[in-house]
A and B are shown apart, each in its own frame.
Chain A
């Protein structure tokens, strides 16, 4: 892979940044990206897709006051970059008289070491990994009707240079292997999913073997075949380790992102320093987790990765900021400026969002339920950012009565409000697990992970079976 610093030398970067500032802007930035990736899909034992991708491009961002001009190209020539800088600068003319500072390169960091780079693995080995997932899923239950295995491996190099003199480049490797399993019996079908990922290479499979991935997804699907219609109404809910993170991410984390805060469109915007959540809650967003699926060494604005405390003993502490929202709030970026690719502007995003473990065991959390729900899987959902109201489908859930798990329930939705749910946490256990996902916001997809202990919320609304 061509190294971006060789393609874009300091002299060229300085000239492009100077063009960006030439119309009176406050700030100019060049973001360049080079990416290679491979994708494999095994469907019912057949290699249905094996594809390779190569992306290369750069964008010039010019900021004048609150206005942003952006232009990108996937031709990395001097002429094309200068033209992009002219277009971006022309969109947001100002009266500032800034000059380009000397570019000081931040040393490349190896925060997330890669032992087995995914693009160096021979293709037949990828097929072998996927076939092991498939076989183990089918071995888990006699009711498995379909197994889809997806493998992704990619290497992405970014380079960021800005008029304040920052110059950073980062090499980000990602590997993920996931299984989606359909189980069927007597005309009923249920699905299960499991998909570990890393900002690393194939050493991922030492910790998460292909067999464990297949079995976990299959067990989830098979369990739900015995599910009965769900009850409705308000009741306490125990959210299982890892899976609780989907709720934390969607219903709380997004409201902590700086763009919503700076715009005052989040219910959390005016609540900094307040005890908004249960005193049991300690929550962080941490891009420094070694080889975390949402980790990096530098964000897409060249800010070093950080760990940000969002909730300390239930008190709302720090928001997740990119440069722009930080500027609006008179703060510094927390290293949460991320973009899907050079085709996108950076926006504040989560990385790895974690709820820290507390005390107690999941058994104790369940034993304390007179009548409630144990939720071990949350599916797709929707959140209204202005109010914090949310609805999530439960993909794996059980009815608990008298402190005992009765049976699996199906088709139920979890309905509630983010801030109410945080307040109503009455137990956080000492266990911990991570889940991996792709988060969409404003049309941009980025890898994120969620990690949580098992936790209990004293009351939520269960929307019943259709």
Chain B
């Protein structure tokens, strides 16, 4: 069989019966993963995989099947399986395959220097990341040091005339430093990402990991009470991850969103502009088209504090009706998965002030550096949450003593309304999608400590 994903997708579509709606999504990927520990290679993994996922829609009935067996017999079987699954699915007139429409040009998806980098050079990057973290006087060891890269080639073809192909290269490295002093230890993460190994800054990531761990040493419980809170960019990104669940049209349609019926309402402070930008150059979720072949786009979900729209894929758009179109937010986590609704690159439009100046504006408050249990501790329907955190006190605009074993609680609507400043230090985290975070100041939240 051909090594080309578009040829593979076409080979599947050719098996469709007349009047049958069928779509094939093919993915070829090559990955390298490196783990180091104590100045030595721990493991190196190198991989190639390919496979195809097939959707058949028969009078509104959707069936899905995937296979990694890329042979004539394997492709015959995957189409048969998808067909047999469709027969028993509940008909839904919103199950539609999108048509073909022009996809935007997106540059910068492939790092041209990727192929020039040897495995040895990648290993050196991981070792340098660890060595940088260990150079800090309080850091004795790292819990995890990882380097990863991938080349993915995806293609989609359908009986509706869609034929698309895209290639992406990605690389990232992160370290979790463990700082120890007088028997107590704290952890800190540092991350760098880019289109290829040459665009990573492992020294910055190692320094970041060590610094974040060390500055928490000696943490104590803070006093309880309402106070101004500043979210670290990583915490802000995780917060957006929880918020994203409520801004998907699937959650709205299924009665699981606190924002249902709120379009046009002021849901945040006037400085809050929440963007999902699937075309943002250099961000991890960027692609010309989504998991159904629909063009990705820039969508303002909240503009100047006012709720504008929800995220849509083809199904939610058809189900919502009223002229709503897909916002290009169908996501595929691999050839084994059906498309599902997800943000592309989600972030708050950064403000003009640096992260430091966002903090400088706080007379007394709490800096939340790491949270535990944000997903389990947040109720996506009511928006209530309470999470334990570690971080630093802020006094007179400066970081003061470290704090831990405390909880911060509020509701998602209260946080959106209470945002006073969004830092200019926007960066993206490739964990659980692509979420952007900036230093974020919130007027008041409830902190419970000792």
Contact = CB atoms under 8 A, between A and B. Distances in A.
Interface of A: 45-57, 59, 66-75, 87-88, 90-92, 123-124, 127, 145-146, 189, 232, 263, 265, 343, 345, 379-382, 384-387, 389, 391-393, 411, 413, 415, 463-466
Summarize A's interface: helix, strand, loop or mixed.
strand
Given A263-B37, A379-B376, A68 B381 contact: no
Given A189-B381, A466-B384, A386 B44 contact: no
Contact of A386 (B84, B143, B409): B143
A385 B144 CA distance: 12
Nearest to B55: A51
Interface string B73-99: 010011001101111111010000000
A349 B78 CA distance: 33
A411 B187 contact: no
B388 interface: yes
B278 interface: no
Contact of B64 (A51, A74, A265, A392): A51
B50 A52 contact: no
B372 interface: yes
A215 B47 CA distance: 45
B46 A47 contact: no
B141 interface: yes
B19 interface: no
A66 B37 CA distance: 10
Interface in B356-410: 372-373, 375-377, 379, 381-382, 384-386, 388, 405, 407, 409-410
B369 to A, nearest CB: 14
A409 to B, nearest CB: 14
Contacts of B410: 466
Contacts of B66: 51-54
Interface of B: 37, 40-51, 62-70, 74, 77-78, 81-82, 84-90, 92, 119, 141, 143, 178, 185, 187, 254-255, 336, 338, 372-373, 375-377, 379, 381-382, 384-386, 388, 405, 407, 409-411, 448
B377 A46 contact: no
Contacts of A49: 62, 64, 89, 338
A146 B68 CA distance: 35
Given A387-B185, A466-B385, A51 B377 contact: no
Nearest to A395: B376
Nearest to B383: A466
13 contacts: A47-B89, A52-B78, A56-B68, A56-B69, A90-B119, A91-B119, A127-B88, A381-B373, A382-B373, A385-B143, A389-B405, A393-B373, A415-B388
Minimum-distance CB pairs A-B, first 3: A380-B376, A466-B386, A51-B64
Contact of B49 (A57, A145, A386, A415): A57
Given A57-B68, A391-B372, A391-B373, A463 B388 contact: yes
A384 B187 contact: yes
Contacts of A48: 89-90
A88 B89 contact: no
Contacts of B141: 265
A411 B77 contact: no
B44 A68 contact: yes
Contacts of B377: 391, 393, 413, 466
A71 B43 CA distance: 11
A187 B382 CA distance: 9
A463 B386 contact: yes
B45 A54 contact: no
Contacts of A57: 49, 68
Contact of B74 (A46, A54, A91, A415): A54
B49 A72 contact: yes
B373 to A, nearest CB: 5
Given A263-B37, A466-B385, A54 B67 contact: yes
B221 to A, nearest CB: 11
Given A265-B141, A380-B375, A463-B407, A52 B42 contact: no
Contacts of A387: 185
Contacts of A54: 65-69, 74, 77-78, 81
A259 to B, nearest CB: 10
B162 to A, nearest CB: 20
B384 A384 contact: no
B381 A123 contact: no
A12 to B, nearest CB: 18
